[in-house]
Amino acid sequence: MTETDYALRLAGVRKNYRDVAAVAGLDLTVPAGELLALVGPSGCGKSTLLRLVAGLEAPDAGTIQITGTTVAGDGVWFPPERRQVGLVFQDYALFPHLTVARNVAFGLAGVPAERRSGRVTEVLELVAMASMAGRYPHELSGGEQQRVALARALAPEPALILLDEPFSNLDRHLRAQVRADTVAILRKTGTTALLVTHDQAEALAVGDRVAVMRAGRIEQTGEPAHVFHAPTSRFVATFLGEADFLPARPRDGELVTEAGPVPAPGRPPPATEGLEVMVRPHEVTLHPPSTAPPGSSRPSSRAASCCTPSRSPPAGNCGRCSRTPHISPSGPGCTPC
């Protein structure tokens, strides 16, 4: 891909608050048209990262590019209004004294009046709020306010939309519906979006890719199913879902565990001690001994995953793309195979 094929590119971005590294030398790229879900525990730096991209904070180091243009770093600084970025806040931040239509029109101040009116109508129809154009925010439900906030962000046709936990204030049923509607609108318009959430299920459900963040760094990025079934560290494995770990030792291309041997094709294990096989509990099926099918003591190849203790990816294909079992050291410092 060329530089312009990426809506967002971060290289070595760092942000400190006194002696705390909220974002620690982070690299990230988001292709145009992609919805990337950024997920991590509270305090991992994900909201700080969003603020850096939006221009609400300045990085201490590194560069931020939007559609190939450097907007921060290398002596360059673009304020938020010059970044072609839409932002949907957690509390929506609608102006209480403005109607729905005027809230949406707020970001179109530089657009000629005749085109501005047409664009407001267009985006309100897109989010199914055209009939409420004359209402005020206090006359709307939480879901309706969220739609207005999305319409306001979409109105200037930004290169990128940032969503900071936009569904967290909604009740469970409404959250699922509004989330589905929002994702459908983003896909219909082909809008690139970075969604920040602490909800693992939400990230896995809506993202074209998922980036798992921890302590100011990206632990792993990939398609939701791949990150869930092939985590590159114990943290990612346990953060995204329940996981059990079986001690293992290598033997003739297999990993021997107390539940039986697991195939380990692709390359030799990186170590002979401290190895573990990850098993997702929902992928374990129990059978009475008398009816157990042949080979039932062997853990499913889909249920195991790995990382290696090396600091740089070794050569060769470990076969993770076919969901073959992999090896996981129990210690820290794991990097992708």
What pTM did the predictor assign? 0.81
* The predicted structure's pLDDT at residue 253: 78
Rounded to whole angstroms, the Cα distance separating 37 from 204 reads 8
- pLDDT tens sequence across 52-67: 999 999 999 999 999 9
Domain spans, the chain: 6-234, 243-283
Q: Quick one: average pLDDT of 197-224?
A: 96
- pLDDT tens sequence across 161-178: 999 999 888 888 888 999
19: pLDDT strictly greater than 50: yes
Rounded to whole angstroms, the Cα distance separating 327 from 59 reads 37
Question: Which token pair is 189?
Answer: 């318009």
CA dihedral 148, 150, 153, 154 (to 10 degrees): -110
143: pLDDT strictly greater than 60: yes
- pLDDT tens sequence across 85-120: 999 988 889 999 999 999 999 989 888 888 999 999
For residue 84, give the 3-state DSSP assignment.
Answer: coil
Rounded to whole angstroms, the Cα distance separating 165 from 293 reads 46
225, 191 contact by CB (below 8 A)? no
Q: Please tell me the class of the 6-234 domain.
A: alpha beta
321: pLDDT strictly greater than 70: no
210, 229 contact by CB (below 8 A)? no
Phi, psi angle pair for 127, to nearest 5°: -100, 15
302: pLDDT strictly greater than 70: no
* The predicted structure's pLDDT at residue 269: 62
* The predicted structure's pLDDT at residue 292: 72
131, 229, 257 from 299: Cα distances, Å: 56, 14, 9
Say which range, 114-118, 203-207, 257-261, 291-295, has the weakest mean pLDDT.
291-295
User: What CATH code would you report for 243-283?
Assistant: 2.40.50
Mean pLDDT of the chain: 84
* The predicted structure's pLDDT at residue 266: 62
10 Å CB burial of residue 199 (0-12, 13-18, 19+) is: middle
256, 273, 307 from 277: Cα distances, Å: 9, 12, 10
- In this prediction, residue 255 has a pLDDT band, given cuts at 50, 70 and 90, of confident
